[in-house]
Structures are given as C-alpha cells and as structure tokens.
Structure 1
Amino acid sequence: MAQDVVIVLDCGATNVRAVAVDTGGHVVAKSSRANGTRPAAENPSWHVWPLECIFDKFSLCCREVLQTVSPERVKGITVTTFGVDGGLVNTAGELIYPVISWKCPRTVVSMQRLMEYFDPDKVALDSGVGHFAFNTLNKLIWFKENRPELLADAHGWMFISSLFTHKLTGRMTNDATMAGTAQLTDLESQTFNEKILSVLGLDSHFFPELVQAGELIGALLPEPADKLGLPAGIPVISAGHDTQFAVYGSGASEGQPVLSSGTWEILMARSGSIDSLSSDIFAAGFTCEWDSHKGFYNPGIQWLASGVLEWIGTQFYGELEGSRKYTCMISEATGVPPGCHGVSFNPDFLTGRDGKSDGAISGLTLNTNRGVIYRAALEGLCVKLKASLKQLEDVGGFSTSELILVGGGSKNSLWNQLKANTLQLPVKVLKESETTVLGASMFAMAGAGLFESPEAARTAFDIQYDTIFPDC
C-alpha cells in the first residue's frame, strides 16, 4: 500500500521546487523550475523577487509531482525559503512593494548608515545576528529613508515563506525561523526586540503572529488548491528558513557541526544555550539564529560559497551550460596540483560595512588557465571553512570529530575531498541530498498528525551517509 506523503514547496535562489516525501523519509517525486530575481522598476541594478511568477512555478512543479503521486496521498504541505527577505503588506496581506532580494545592492548604504540609528555592536549582540547588507533591518532602514510613506501606510511585514502560506491559507503569520534571521529580534527571549523596532517607529505588532515550525497555519484554500492540483482543506504547516531544516534533516545531534553548502556555506550547530558573545566574532561572519525548536539556537558562521563558483562559471565557462559546465569545471580543476601553481583565491566577495570587498585572485601568470582559478577558489573556500570551524568550536565549547555536509555543494566530489584534506577530518555526506526538504517534511508530518513529533519522524527516516576520509 502506498505511503502517505507531504509536499515541500522549496523556494531557493536558483530553483523553485516541489518535492514529495513519504513517511519512510523517501523522496518519491520532485520537480523544479529555474528561479531568479527581476530588476526593480526604479533601478535596473536592483533586485526584487517576482512572487506571483514564483507561485506559478510552484504550481507547475506541484502538478508535475502529482503525475507520480496521487493527490489523495498528500496529507500536508509546507514552504521553505532563504532567510531575511519579505515585504510590506496591507490589511489584506497583499504586497504594497515588491520583495527586495538579498542580492539587491541598495541595502549596502543602509548597513553603512546603521550607526546613525543604533550602536551596531549592541544590535548584533542583542539579536545574535551579524552584520550583513541583506539583513531585514537594513531593508527597513531603506524604506524609512527612501519610501517613508510606504512604511507609514503598511499594515505590517511578512517574511517570504509566510507570504506564500498566506496565499495558501489566507492567514497572516510569520515563521519563527525566518524572524530569527532578521536582526530585529532578541536572541535570549526569541521575541521581537522592541528597542530596535522603536528606532524605526515600529513595534512587534507590525509583524503578524509568530508560528513555530510544525505548527498548523490553516487549511489549503480552494483557489490555490486548484492551481496546485491538490485537494482543498489539507493542512498547511509552518516551516520557514531552509538552513534550520537542513541542519535538522541531517540527523545531527546537539553540538555536532553541519555545513550546509550552496550559494552560501553556513556552518552551524544545534545548541540548547549560548554562552556570552563578544562583538569581535561578528566580523568573521558569525550569526546565531533560532533553531527549528523554540528555545534552541543555531550558532554559525556563513560566507558566500557556490555563489563565488557561479561567478567563475559565468566569467570563464560561459560557452557551457547546465551540467556540462560543472562537469568541465571539476574535470579541469582535478588535474591541477595542490597549491595551484602559486595562484591563490580570496573568496570574500561580500561588501563590508566600509563598502569594500576583500575578494581577490593573486599569483596569476601568462600560464594560468581557468581550471587553476577554479581549483584555487575551491582551496580558498576550504581554508575559510577550516578557520570558521575553529571559531565555532571556540564559541560552542566543542571539539569536532567529523563534519556532516549537506546541500547542493555536497554533489561536488572534488570539493568534498578537498574539505576532508584541509580539515583532516572525515566528512559525512548524506546519501539523500534533499536535506532541507527532509527536515521540513519531518515538521510537516508532525503538524499533519502523521507522527507524534518531528523527532518521531526523524527516527522513522532511514538517514544514511557516504563518508569521505582525508587522502593526505
């Protein structure tokens, strides 16, 4: 007899997907469409997310999944997305301005002006979230300085995952795991920080009700149900920020570091408490988000990763597309010896609070080819990983015996081996690459009543790993 399933709608920076997972933890069907930002009407260099277009892609993907999975088997649906992004809404929950993407450069200036409103060190220490231009706080500063009439007229703010669940259910909420990425909250109490909000002329009522992962948001309405091809009335369950569910879906125990490797690499651990933080650690990309379980935390360090590799692909492998591009890049880099003939690559492409970036390639000669540059980027990212792991161990008070690796970056066998070699540690790669989806499905199944708890679902899932050992 076919098992019950839940469907996870996963909005990533490069792909929009629908994935069906059964109660044994098996991905039984999935479909994807390319995702991307659009230029803003005011400035073609600004990035916004086309929400209606994304939902159309969700619908196409879901209908394709239902060609394999009968709609009657679907017992719940949930949504995961990247963090920080969201939008101002009216009383009906409709956007009054497009969703500003985390890719948009307009908030760089907002971050630089942060000190005109706040003590930056105190904001980071209180919220636990480090200083990144894409933080929700910087978006609200941009509205305050550039479109104050919108901020004044708005009924509230919903994060992007909740904009989708509002479309599904009609209920205005905010996923707690998304709020924990915003630099607008209090780390210790896991509530919105009224002092931070008051400087912006806001209070916590500006944000619709926080819902925890696994909580029932509502029943799927007839109109979106028809578009998705699903039965109306099935439960819509809260999930939220994809990283939290990748960590949980990896099977990691408390205090065990997990590297979620994708456009960003995010090195995190689950912790029941956070020791006192110092302001200097935030300069290294440290952030502490809210875990998928209320009362737990995810201290971590994040940096741009596959986003840098995509830049190399665009600049040096433009004649290739899709899998052929990645296969060629890895093949050419595999033949390059360690040390890359003296070429080094600093992957710190992000703009800092001073408006500058440290990204650089050095040691170039007339004999340097693109495979050397790609290999140097992989090695530079591995050096960043090693330094970040040491910092996380110091903050968390643990010693790493092995690293769990999840996400799209884990498909790169050369990069995986370089990580093991650089860390001199075993690297465990989940055999099922859909770790975010697995984690979100565990909460969706609990919320839909298929399991007593996400822990019970995780126990029922057969999580297996391939282990890569250092070869030098």
Structure 2
Amino acid sequence: MESGFPALHPYHQLAGTVMSQDLVIVLDCGATNIRAIAVDVEGQIVARASQANITVPDAENSEWHVWPHESIFEQFSNCCRDLMDQVKPEQVKAVTVTTFGVDGALVDKTGTPIYPVISWKCPRTADAQQHMSTYFDPAEVARLSGVGHFSFNTINKMIWFRENKPELLEDAHAWLFISSLFTHMLTGNLTTDATMAGTSQLTDLQGQTFNADILSALGLDESLFPPVVQAGDIVGELLPTPAARFGLPAGIPVVSAGHDTQFAVFGSGAEKNQPVLSSGTWEILMARCESMTSPETDVFDRGFTCEWDAQPNHYNPGIQWLASGVLEWVNAQFYRDLSSAEKYEVMINEASQAPVDCKGVSFDPAFLEGGAIRGLTLHCDRGDIYRAALTALSVRLKDSLKLLETVGNFTATELILVGGGSRNALWNQIKADTLQLPIKILDEAETTVLGAAMFAMAGAKLHASADAAREAFNIHYEIVRPATTPREQG
C-alpha cells in the first residue's frame, strides 16, 4: 500500500578535493550526556563538547520518565556551536545522529510529536509487557524478531498506547524513532533508521522488515513507519534554520546512523563473524554475522537478543550479563579498608598472587538470580575470592561465546575487547586463557562515535564506503594471548 511519505531526494556530492581538514560531526545522545564530536577523515577526534542529559517526569504521572526532545535538540545545537570555536564551519561535510534504541514518538504530518517520548527508563512499559500474551505468544514474538524480552522494547510502548491512548494511534501520521526525530528536525524528512527498527521487537529478523503479523495483532500497519534508511544513506540536507542554530553551513548532508550499539561494534574494527565484548558494569557480547540460525526460544532466558547490523543483511546476535557489578560487590565486601586510589591495584595484585585454582574457591556470579561462593576454607583469602570471581565471569563469557557461535554460524578466532573492564590486565589474561583465543584490546574508547563517523563519511563521499573509512582510521589494538605469551602491540 502507499506509505504516504514523499520519496527522498539524492544528495549531490560536494564539489572540490577532499582535504585532511574535512570533518563530520556526530551528534551523540546518551542516557547521561548529550555530545557533539568532530572527527576528521583519518579518524582523529579533533573537537568535542557535551552537556548533561536527563529524563523528566511525565506531566500525567511523576513516576513516569520521558525525554524532553526539544531540550535535547537545543543541547545538541549548543554543543555544536561550541565545536565551531575549535573548527571552521566550512570544514564540516556531514552530520549524523546516534543514540539509544527502542525509544521514539508518535508524530503528526509535520513530524511534531503528539505525545512525549517515553523513555526506556519508564516503568509503565513493564506493566505493558505483562499484557503481551493478550495479543500474541511472547516466545514466538522473540523468535520472529530476534529481540529478547526487555520491558523497554518499542513493542511494549505500542501495547501501552493501544490500551491507554488508542486515539493517538489512530490520529498519528507516523512513528519516529528518536534518532529519526532529530534528523527530521534537521532536514524536514521523515525516515526510519534501520538499526533503530531492529531494536523494536516489531520486525522480522530474517527478512529485516517490519513483521506484518506482529503489527496486525496490535492493530498497526507498516504505513505507520516512514521509509527505512540504512546507515550511510542520506536523510536529507541540513535546513537553513537548524543550520543557523548549530553554526553549520546549510545544505550539508545529514546521514543516517541510529542505534549506538551497532556503531560501537562496527567502530571497534570488528570484521564479519568476529565477536566484540563491551566490558563494564554489564558485559555485552556481540558479533557481526552474515547469517543467522533462527534462535530457539529458550536462549532468550539466557539474556540473548539479536539486532540488525549497521550493514544490511547482517546481524548482531548478543548476550549480556552482570559483570563488573559483581566485582564491585567483592570490592565492597572485602576491600572496604582501602582508599579508592589504591583499591584496584591491591585487588589485582592480590588476585595475581593467588593460585589458578583459587585454593578450591569457586564463584557463581549470577547475582541477579542468586550467586554463591563455594569451597571456602581457613586457608583462603580475599585475593582467592577475587580471582575466583574473575575466573567465573570468564567462564560465563566462554559459554556465551559458544551460544553466539551456534546461532551465528561462525567460529571465533579472536575477541575484540572494549570498555572499562579492558583496563584490568589480570582479567584480560584470564579471559584469553579461558577462551584460548587472542584478546584484542582497543585503545580508543569512542567506538560508537567512530563507527557513526565512518558511515557519515561514506554518505558524504569523504570515503568510498564505511569499510574504506574504517581502514583509513587505522585502528590499533593491544593483544593479549593465551598462557604466557607476552603482550604485543597490533
């Protein structure tokens, strides 16, 4: 059927020779910070500015959380103007937006939200998730979409609208994911970022389209969603009014990016069929796969989910579990006598001196379900306990990688590691020994920004493709090999 949305006009490449001073600007909306970051064609971050981000209470219920999208857009413009004190506007050849997934808004024909942007932090969607079985089998929805059972999924927002604001679903011209809400404000064009759609639980994993059966069960139609744009596609040209607000030249291309996770994986340098571990309070293991076996429904109980990769017809299966959050518990229980300045050095040194078998201590890190420490004797000390926790989390990683290899139809030959957990040298070595694989530790923290910049440069023709941009960025790693092989630079 007709979508009701005008066709997008192709962007004509800027004339002139690409110089080393050419830049793209990545507008990054995170849960805690709004940022504008300028990246040059060699992948160097040349300027950045940020402001704090926070949800606000919904006017209807102070316990509900919504995103103030107009305020966020103003913060984007403030950050971008700050960048213009460090770079020249004529250097900027493209703009792109990346942000968290699932959130968005119902909008009218002008692209103006008719209801606030419900945040993934909002508890109302947890209640809506309990009603999912009224419309369809939750296990089948997860299998079809590939997306795990998370209360913040877009599908639960649609259930909430269906049950509480059905008139808005009837009146809405479109649903815009939050990244597309901002690109509409920049260009006037209504689009759907593909990587955002893949987080919604409204789509078909194998076909990478919206799933008609899931939509129909909620009384929705695919026409509610504007044309899908892939990462690197041109959404439109920067309009004069927002250009003036941002201090940028009107007419430069606004390039599609979308969900931050996909661009972090791509920006890490991960090739196809290569796993990436983001290590922090939670560890998130993902891979870039060319094919996917339809997941069995029981894998979703293990924290599994699968989203669309930044490149079409590729997939990002992933599993997440509590990691450094468990180590912080060990810290609080056994190392509270130490100051923060010395704590982590002492913890790692003591665990390094503990034997590999941790004197018989074993650790179950499943603290969300009920963890445990076993094998304690009078001969054990806190270093044994901490090392046992590092080992147990590494075994959890090994089990998760086996699952990813099965559903993603690949065999890992190495693991890319990013995030705060990668700074723990002992843990890195235990991971390498447990997996019996080399661990490649990225020396650049801004993987999301670099990944989004690669696609922005491809869209603006600063590089022939996102892959070419990634090659030009010359990503560096420190390599940790299994057993006693010394570290080397890569």
State the 1:425 CA deviation.
3.4
State the 1:341 CA deviation.
11
* Structure 2 contact 255–459 (Cα < 8 Å) conserved: yes
2:235 & 2:161 partners in 1: Cα distance?
29
**Aligned residue for 1:392?**
404
* Structure 2 contact 129–151 (Cα < 8 Å) conserved: yes
**Aligned residue for 1:353?**
none
**Aligned residue for 1:244?**
262
Q: TM-score, normalised by structure 2?
A: 0.83
Shift in CA distance, 273/441, structure 1 to aligned 2, threshold 3 Å: same
1:371 & 1:50 partners in 2: Cα distance?
46
1:230 & 1:263 partners in 2: Cα distance?
37
SS of the residue corresponding to residue 113 of structure 2 reads: coil
1:69 & 1:244 partners in 2: Cα distance?
28
State the 1:217 CA deviation.
0.5
**Aligned residue for 1:444?**
456
State the 1:332 CA deviation.
5.9
- The answer to whether structure 1 residue 41 and structure 2 residue 59 are counterparts is yes
**Aligned residue for 2:348?**
334
State the 1:378 CA deviation.
6.2
**Aligned residue for 2:241?**
223
Shift in CA distance, 10/379, structure 1 to aligned 2, threshold 3 Å: farther
- The answer to whether structure 1 residue 173 and structure 2 residue 191 are counterparts is yes
Structure 2 residue corresponding to 1:269, chosen from 282, 287, 291: 287
Shift in CA distance, 414/34, structure 1 to aligned 2, threshold 3 Å: farther
**Aligned residue for 1:195?**
213
Q: For 1:148, give the aligned amino acid.
A: P
Q: TM-score, normalised by structure 1?
A: 0.86
* Structure 2 contact 195–231 (Cα < 8 Å) conserved: yes
Structure 2 residue corresponding to 1:62, chosen from 68, 77, 80: 80
**Aligned residue for 1:25?**
43
State the 1:103 CA deviation.
2.0
2:389 & 2:75 partners in 1: Cα distance?
33
2:122 & 2:384 partners in 1: Cα distance?
30
- Structure 2: gaps (5+ residues): 1-18, 485-490
* Structure 2 contact 308–315 (Cα < 8 Å) conserved: yes
SS of the residue corresponding to residue 269 of structure 1 reads: strand
1:53 & 1:181 partners in 2: Cα distance?
24
Q: 1:42-96: per-residue Cα shift (whole Å, max 9, x none)?
A: 3333322222222232222222222222111110010111111111112211122
* Structure 1 contact 347–381 (Cα < 8 Å) conserved: no
Q: 1:10-43: per-residue Cα shift (whole Å, max 9, x none)?
A: 1122222211111112122222223232233333
Shift in CA distance, 297/98, structure 1 to aligned 2, threshold 3 Å: same
Q: For 1:386, give the aligned amino acid.
A: K
State the 1:120 CA deviation.
1.6
Q: 1:200-249: per-residue Cα shift (whole Å, max 9, x none)?
A: 11110011111111000111112222222211111100001111111212
Instruction: After superposing the two structures, state which structure 1 stretch, 24-33 or 176-185, moved more.
Output: 24-33
**Aligned residue for 1:354?**
none
1:53 & 1:347 partners in 2: Cα distance?
39
Larger radius of gyration: 2
* Structure 1 contact 12–81 (Cα < 8 Å) conserved: yes
**Aligned residue for 1:355?**
none
Q: Give the total of aligned pairs.
A: 458
Structure 1 residue corresponding to 2:310, chosen from 284, 287, 292: 292
State the 1:311 CA deviation.
9.6
* Structure 1 contact 345–373 (Cα < 8 Å) conserved: no
- The answer to whether structure 1 residue 208 and structure 2 residue 226 are counterparts is yes
2:80 & 2:327 partners in 1: Cα distance?
30
* Structure 1 contact 181–289 (Cα < 8 Å) conserved: yes
- Structure 1: gaps (5+ residues): 319-323, 350-357
1:376 & 1:66 partners in 2: Cα distance?
50
Shift in CA distance, 42/305, structure 1 to aligned 2, threshold 3 Å: farther
2:72 & 2:309 partners in 1: Cα distance?
26
Shift in CA distance, 92/255, structure 1 to aligned 2, threshold 3 Å: same
Structure 2 residue corresponding to 1:113, chosen from 97, 108, 131: 131
2:75 & 2:427 partners in 1: Cα distance?
31
Shift in CA distance, 370/225, structure 1 to aligned 2, threshold 3 Å: farther
